[in-house]
Amino acid sequence: MYFVNAPFFLRWLYPKVTFNRTRKEKKVYLTFDDGPIPEITPFILDTLEKYQIKATFFCVGENIEKNRTIFDRIVAQGHRIGNHTYNHLRGWDHDDDVYLENIEKCQQLTKSDLFRPPYARAKKSQLAKLAQEYEIIYWDVLSGDFDQTISPQKCFQNVERHCKNGSIIVFHDNIKAIDRLSYALPKTITFLHENGYTFATL
């Protein structure tokens, strides 16, 4: 199960984690997790280019190595990169040294000061160590694009209903998300533009 909003208990458990930016400005932050992959990342880049928007990509190290050209295009287009581990590891399943080593391996490629834990699952001890080196980014709006039981329309509504000033919105460049993302991303951008929001990188 997952929550569209970051639940209160999570905010309490991980005080050092970023869930949103300032609520005082009408800015939002699109983020894309798990890529780059040829099946969907180029579509995302084309869409962002068309609307002249910058976003943040939390990349998986092994996908960067497999898809170097796409990764280079993300960087060349002026988007920001974040570290999402080398093998998309779930922190809860690994000892701290194994988990941190995997993040360091990804860091050789991402060279970023942003980190997002895959599945939002990392131990408190891991987050404490990572917080010394990275800003740890969660979100306050989860589109649910990875959820194959929801419609593309519902995915868009998740964003439409929950987005506000300073929101960090999660989409995925992941095969499971393609049907929902390809519908919801352009709709989201149009909706937020019409409502006076601007887009920024983290």
Question: Interacting stretch for Zn ion, rule CB under 5 A, among 37-45, 64-72, 115-123, 145-153?
Answer: 115-123
How many other C-beta atoms can be found within 10 angstroms of the C-beta atom of residue 105? 15
For residue 6 the two structure tokens come to 């970051």
What is the closest distance, in whole angstroms, from the C-beta atom of residue 179 to Zn ion in the complex? 18
Q: Which residue do the tokens 């960087």 mark? A: 75
Q: Which is nearer to Zn ion, 28 or 116 (CB)?
A: 116
Separation of alpha carbons 56 and 200, rounded Å: 8
Q: Which is nearer to Zn ion, 33 or 145 (CB)?
A: 33
Give yes or no for residue 34 binding Zn ion (CB under 5 A): yes
Q: Which residue do the tokens 């995997």 mark? A: 102
Size of interface with Zn ion, in residues (CB under 5 A)? 3
Tell me whether residue 113 is one of the annotated catalytic residues: no
Question: Interacting stretch for Zn ion, rule CB under 5 A, among 27-35, 39-47, 146-154, 176-184?
Answer: 27-35
Instruction: Give me the catalytic one of 33, 34, 140, 173.
Output: 33
Do you find a cis peptide bond into 36, omega within 30 degrees of 0? Answer: yes
Tell me whether residue 33 is one of the annotated catalytic residues: yes
Residue 91 has what DSSP assignment? G
Q: Which is nearer to Zn ion, 2 or 51 (CB)?
A: 2
What is the closest distance, in whole angstroms, from the C-beta atom of residue 168 to Zn ion in the complex? 14
Pair 155, 149: CB distance under 8 Å = no
Q: Which H helix or E strand runs over 170?
A: strand 168-172
Give yes or no for residue 33 binding Zn ion (CB under 5 A): yes
Give yes or no for residue 118 binding Zn ion (CB under 5 A): yes
Q: Which is nearer to Zn ion, 20 or 173 (CB)?
A: 173
In total, the chain counts a number of residues equal to 202
Question: Interacting stretch for Zn ion, rule CB under 5 A, among 3-11, 33-41, 74-82, 126-134?
Answer: 33-41
Instruction: Give me the catalytic one of 34, 140, 172, 173.
Output: 172
DSSP states of 49-85 as a string? HHTT---EEEE-HHHHHHTHHHHHHHHHTT-EEEE--
Q: Which is nearer to Zn ion, 44 or 197 (CB)?
A: 44
Single-letter amino acid, residue 196: G
Catalytic positions, please? 33, 172
Can you give the binding site for Zn ion, defined by CB under 5 A?
33-34, 118
